[in-house]
Structure formats: structure tokens, C-alpha cells
Structure 1
Amino acid sequence: MTNCDEVRVGLSARLDGEAATWAAQAGLAPDALDTHLAGCPDCRSWSRAAEQLTRAVRVRAVAVPDLTAPILAAVAAERTATVRAARRQAEGRRQILRVALGATAVVQVLLALPALFAGGGDLHTGREAASFDIALAVGFALAAWRPERARAFVPVAFVLAACLIMTSAFDVAEGATALAHEIGHVAALVQAALLWALSRTATVSRETARPATVAP
């Protein structure tokens, strides 16, 4: 019978599933290892320790589920929720701006109507200015009603506001009019700012209306 060192080589081969090959190469019977273990306490102890060590170091591969679809679905859901929140916020701002712009248009019409029908002073010039104010107010009201058209009115509103403020500043500086009489032209600048902000919210609303997609 072989010595303990050779037997332990055979035991290692057995743990690797090659006991028969080892026995054939060593010229021993297939049960030679068991026969030696039956009479050798040291080799039995060594065999048990080797088996425990082998079980400890051999880790079975764990099947990992494919989480691609759930992850993509979660990302898409989160993005959709973000887009909806941004859309609600933009819609809230747009409604406030629509109401504010519409209110300024109504006030502008109410202030222009008396000059359109009242007499006294330079009647013709007053009626022309009132007609212009009413036409401009109708444009602002249309922009408040249809915000997607607000962008077209922005250049007109800012040019008008700039011209009114500059001419008023010149007239006040030359003493042709009082500052209190011209302070109302600030409303034109406010209307232009409201119109610009409304056109911006209309653009944001179109962008957030696009569906959220996540590429796999």
C-alpha cells in the first residue's frame, strides 16, 4: 500500500472527481483509498479537513435576474412624473399671466372709451389715440386668450413701450408735460413684460408636452 502522502494526493484527486484516473495511473485498485482511510486516523482527519475546505471555497454561481426592464420602467415613470410636475407648474404660471394680461387689456379699454366718445379739447387727436389704445388692448386680450399667439405681439409691445417712455422722458425734460401725466406709460412696459413672459410659458408648455421616452 502507498504511503500517506500518495494517498492524500489521491484524496485530492477524488475531491476533484478524478479518483479513478489517479488510481489507474498509480496502478491501484479503485477502493485503495477507502482501504487506507479505514486504517489511518491521520488521513481520515486530513480528508475531512480537505472536504470542509473544498466546500468553503467552492461557491455556486447564483442566478441573477435580468432587471433591465424594471429599471427602464422605473426611470421612464420618474421622468414622466417630473414632466407632469413641470407641466402643471408652467400651466399655473401661464394662467396667472393670462389673467394679468387680460386685466390690463380691460383696464386699457375702459380708460380709452371716454376719450373716444367725450368731447372737448383736441377731439380728433384724442379719438385717434383712444382708437389706437383700444386696438392695442384687443391684441393683448387675444394674446391672453390664445397664449400661443403671444410671441407675435412681443416686438410690437416692446417697441411701443420704448417709444412712449423715451418721448415722455424728452417731454418731461423740456417741460412740455408733467411727470404725473406721463407715469401711465409705465403700464405699456408692464404689458410688454407680461406678454413676453406669457410667450415664454407657451414655449415651455409645448416642450413639456413631448412624451418622455427612455431608450433601452
Structure 2
Amino acid sequence: MSDYGSVDCSELRESISARVDGEQPVVPEDVLDRHLTGCPDCRAWQERATALRRLTLVREAPQVPDLTAKILAEAPVSRPQRWGLRVALGLVALVQSGLGLAELLGADVGHAGHGTLAAAVHLGNESAAWNVAVGIGLLWAALRPATAAGLLPALGGFVVVLGIISGVDLTTGEVALDRVASHGLVVVGVALLVAVRRQHKRRPAPHSADRLPVPGDDATSSPETSSPRAGDPPQRRRFPQRPTGRHAA
């Protein structure tokens, strides 16, 4: 059946489908309207095509079970923040700082020992233990740059207090200049610690997983995205991510 020259219904239905999809039909609009008026099969076909397009664009969301209660029941309950240990640590820090300040001011805090010689030996052992601890901390920061920020308050405070005490002792003549100069290594270590922390802080963050090229994906394996460009920061090698089922709720 056709009223447009030698064109049959199948060819006209291509134009009807284009009009349903919002495209420009090949056959003129008035020809399609006249054909639909006299062809009930094409009118029915157009109605089915319109209904099918409506179903593909707007449809009811599928019914899924409500798992809210189950998820909330199995999710780990957030524990309230406990301040007991932190308060105790703060008290120990205050007492330790007070003992050191009292010793600097000349008060007897029990470090005199049993005699002058024993006190001097013990004080030397304490100084040696502290130097070893400082060396271990700096070495750990060199291996793990992220820990440099945690060492800065302790070692920075130590250098500041040591500098003040050394200046006072030099003024009063209680210590020689070469002895004070021996503390320069700690000052250099703290300066390098600050530099390592800043370098680690400025390091670019790794790309997120959704921006990494996926093997076999033509859209992300193009030369523009697969090969690094000049000036781009180097990307670190990433390990495969764990499956979602192994992640905590």
C-alpha cells in the first residue's frame, strides 16, 4: 500500500520512525499525514513505536527490597571518642616538662643520685640515650617521610630550649664553645626534617581509580591519555584494589 509514488509502507515507516524519534523524516510531513489517514496498519505501527519510545525514556523504577534496617543493623556502631588516655598522656607531658624546667632552674628533683660522681655518670647516660633516640627518630623520618611532622614538635622544642641554655652558659662561661658547637648536628637534623616534611607535603597525590586508564578501554587507551606528557608529575605504581565485598561497611 502506498500513496507516495512507488514507495511502500515499509519505506514510509522509516520516516515515521524518524519523526517519532524527533528527527527530520525523508518523506514530507504532509505525505506522511495523508498516508496515516488512509492506512490503519501504519497508524497502529506509529502508536506502537510511540509507546515503545515512551517506555525506553520514562518507566517506573524496579521494585527492590528495603535493606535500610539490615544495613544499619550490620554496620559497625561508631564508638564515642574517649578522652581518658589522651588526658593521661597530657598530664604525663606536663609533669615531664615541669621536671625538666625545675631541673633547669636548679631545683632538686631527685636526679642528684648517690654522690656527685654517680650523678655525673647517670646524667651522661641520659644524654647518650637521648642522642641515640634523636638519631633513630631522624633515620625513621628519612625512611618514612610522613612521620617527619610528628617529630618536629619534640625535636624543634628541644633545639629551641637547647639554644637558649647554650647561650646562657656561653655568657656565664660555664661551657666551652666547642661543646656548644657539637649541638650543631641536631640543628642541621631539624632543618632537614622541616625540608623533608615540606617536600612530602608538596608531593602530588596519586590519581583516583576512576581516572586511571583501564586495560582494553579504547576511550582511555588513546595516545593522549596513555603516554605521559612532558611536565606531568610521575605516577606511582598502584596495586590492584581489593574487591568491594572485602571493604568494611
Shorter-chain TM band: 0.3 to 0.5
TM (normalized to structure 2)? 0.35
Q: Which has the higher contact order (CA 8 A, sep 6+)?
A: 1
- Rg larger in structure: 1
